[in-house]
């Protein structure tokens, strides 16, 4: 069904622009981040970060909490602007885009938010249809075909008339995935897609991520802490720490890395370079109020 739907998507592109042209020259690297610097005063988030995301692959962005993984997604979609460096999408520096060009570029992205972010007052069908109604002039009949096909792809065509409050956590995440891909994006972003799911639901989402990427020929970016799930689905992983890429490669390569930080993260070790305590004043001084008025 996924591949058979390609003709319908091409028809949609001809009628109202569901397909988006490449902004730059073809390259193996769809997204390139070069010498990126970004900080939230007084705390630096990224310092000369360099990272590439290859076309057609599933790339995982991992790292301890607070390393800026979600911030990086906001920078890639230009919700935030770096203080230094450049981010290229299809060979074009997104900082040079006009507002209209930026909106066109963003339509090439699909986004699966951490908790699904379904609109609670809309049915499952209308949640998935929402981007089509907002960004296209397609007829209701064509929207119905597209939405039901996307829901069928995630196994929830039978839940089209249900409300978000009636869905389990796993079902809600699958509806959110159908909505994320309803505009036929080139790039699909998953922000912590496995959080809060039971093992069965997690397995379903992992399988769907792989199937969507391979069947539709898209590029996927996964931000996640879940080492085991990422290892089963990612083609390449980047581990962020101290504002830079601490390690990169296939998941199995990271598991055998010599770095203490990489070993601590990949094996869930309590002790290591990532400290338990956040930087703070001296304990006795703060607790007893010494040197304070």
pLDDT, tens digit (0-9, with 9 covering 90-100), for 122-161: 999 999 999 999 888 899 999 999 999 999 988 889 999 9
Q: State mean pLDDT over 48-59.
A: 91
pLDDT of residue 284: 67
Cβ partners under 8 Å of residue 73, min gap 6: 61, 189, 191, 221, 223
Cβ partners under 8 Å of residue 41, min gap 6: none
Alpha helices (H) along the chain: 6-16, 69-76, 99-106, 124-135, 140-153, 169-180, 199-216, 227-233, 251-255, 260-266, 283-288
Q: What is the tens place of the pLDDT at every residue in 163-179?
A: 999 998 888 888 998 99
CA 119 to centroid of chain Cα atoms: 19
Across all residues in the chain, what is the average pLDDT? 79
Q: Count Cα neighbours of 190 within 13 Å in the Cβ-side half-sphere.
A: 34
Instruction: For strands 84-89 and 244-249, give the pairing.
Output: unpaired
**0.85 cut: is pTM over it?**
no
Centre a 10 Å sphere on the Cβ of residue 250 and count the other Cβ atoms it contains. 12
Q: State mean pLDDT over 176-187.
A: 89
pLDDT of residue 86: 92
More confident call, 285 vs 49: 49
pLDDT of residue 123: 94
More confident call, 278 vs 224: 224
Beta bridge partners of 52: 32
Q: What is the tens place of the pLDDT at every residue in 218-254?
A: 899 998 877 777 778 888 888 887 778 877 878 777 7
pLDDT of residue 266: 62
In this structure, of 20-24, 116-120, 163-167, 240-244, the range with the lowest mean pLDDT score is: 20-24
pLDDT of residue 7: 35
Residue 18 clears pLDDT 70, i.e. is over it: no
pLDDT of residue 15: 32
The residue behind tokens 């609109």 is 119
């Amino acid at each position: 069904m996924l591949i058979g739907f390609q003709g319908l998507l091409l028809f949609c592109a001809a009628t109202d622009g569901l397909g988006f042209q490449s902004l730059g020259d073809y390259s193996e690297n769809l997204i390139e981040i070069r010498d990126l610097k970004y900080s939230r005063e007084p705390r630096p988030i990224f310092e000369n970060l360099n990272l590439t995301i290859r076309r057609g692959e599933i790339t995982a962005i991992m790292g301890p909490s607070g390393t800026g993984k979600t911030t990086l997604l906001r920078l890639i979609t230009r919700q935030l602007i770096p203080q230094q460096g450049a981010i290229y999408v299809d060979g074009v520096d997104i900082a040079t885009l006009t507002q209209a060009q930026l909106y066109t570029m963003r339509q090439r992205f699909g986004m699966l938010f951490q908790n699904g972010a379904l609109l609670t007052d809309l049915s499952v069908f209308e949640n998935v249809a929402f981007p089509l109604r907002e960004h296209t002039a397609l007829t209701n009949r064509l929207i119905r075909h597209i939405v039901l096909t996307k829901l069928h792809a995630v196994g929830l065509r039978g839940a089209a008339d249900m409300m978000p409050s009636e869905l389990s956590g796993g079902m809600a995440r699958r509806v959110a995935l159908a909505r994320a891909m309803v505009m036929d994006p080139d790039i699909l972003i998953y922000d912590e897609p496995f959080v809060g799911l039971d093992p069965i639901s997690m397995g379903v989402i992992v399988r769907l991520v792989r199937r969507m990427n391979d069947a539709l020929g898209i590029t996927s970016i996964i931000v996640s802490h879940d080492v085991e799930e990422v290892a089963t689905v990612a083609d390449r992983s980047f581990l962020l720490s101290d504002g830079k890429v601490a390690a990169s490669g296939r998941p199995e390569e990271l598991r055998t890395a010599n770095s203490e930080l990489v070993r601590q993260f990949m094996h869930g070790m309590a002790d290591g370079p990532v400290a338990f305590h956040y930087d703070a004043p001296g304990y006795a001084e703060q607790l007893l109020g010494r040197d304070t008025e």
